[in-house]
């Protein structure tokens, strides 16, 4: 639901990542009017930096051998696009665990933030990729980091999308169920408002 908007230009991100669509009909209508689908253009934003742009695109698309080749050619694993998105964020977004491991081994900054203070873990938590999320957490990703817009945590993103196994990984690695966003809502609330009853019930269990 919110996942498809994570790679939007910053103009759209501020509205979209407020999870307005998770909190009311008006927000959903606004998202539909303003959003557009992810395209290859999102990872190719730096004129004159073709190798870095290709590197990020390859990470997004899961092209492991191309990622390895570009790293050998000296591409910086932390090279970011105009929105501050790195290859690690993009690989995590699509659950490319092997690429995530390669990037981490090369020195990719695990808690590096983009222009909205989102990290690779936040990107990964929006998808149904518990393995990728586990790798990030086991390598020191902060499970309670929040973005700069509405103070959404990885757990809130995962709950809003209804990814129970991702939610479990986050909880097992120290994610706090009682974190609140700027509106006073927690992860269980996001799950309930999107009809993810099993996720909501899990989050309401005693710690």
Distances (CA, A) of 204 to 59, 156, 183: 36, 13, 19
> With a cut of 50, which residues of the chain have pLDDT below it?
9-48
Residue 151 CA neighbour count, 13 Å, CB half: 9
Query: Quick one: pLDDT at residue 10?
Result: 34
In CATH, 39-109 is 3.90.1640.30? no
Query: Quick one: pLDDT at residue 31?
Result: 28
Query: Quick one: pLDDT at residue 49?
Result: 74
Taking each helix axis from N to C end, the angle separating 64-72 and 50-61, rounded to the nearest 10 degrees, works out to: 150
Query: Quick one: pLDDT at residue 5?
Result: 58
What are the boundaries of each domain within the chain? 39-109
pTM comes to 0.80
Query: Quick one: pLDDT at residue 145?
Result: 97
Query: Quick one: pLDDT at residue 189?
Result: 96
């Amino acid at each position: 639901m919110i996942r498809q908007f994570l790679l939007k230009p910053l103009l759209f991100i501020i509205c979209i990542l407020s999870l307005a669509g998770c909190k009311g009909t008006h927000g959903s209508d606004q998202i539909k009017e303003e959003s557009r689908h992810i395209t290859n253009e999102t990872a190719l934003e730096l004129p004159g930096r073709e190798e870095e742009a290709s590197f990020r695109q390859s990470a997004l698309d899961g092209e492991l051998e191309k990622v390895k080749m570009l790293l050998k050619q000296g591409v910086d694993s932390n090279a970011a696009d105009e929105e501050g998105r790195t290859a690690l964020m993009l690989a995590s977004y699509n659950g490319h665990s092997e690429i995530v491991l390669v990037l981490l081994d090369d020195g990719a900054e695990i808690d590096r933030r983009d222009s909205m203070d989102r990290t690779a873990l936040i990107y990964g938590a929006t998808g149904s990729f518990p393995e990728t999320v586990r790798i990030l957490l086991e390598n020191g990703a902060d499970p309670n980091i929040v973005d700069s817009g509405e103070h959404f945590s990885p757990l809130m993103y995962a709950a809003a999308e209804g990814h129970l196994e991702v939610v479990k990984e986050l909880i097992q690695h120290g994610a706090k169920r009682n974190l609140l966003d700027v509106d006073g809502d927690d992860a269980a609330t996001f799950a309930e408002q999107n009809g993810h009853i099993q996720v909501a019930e899990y989050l309401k269990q005693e710690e």
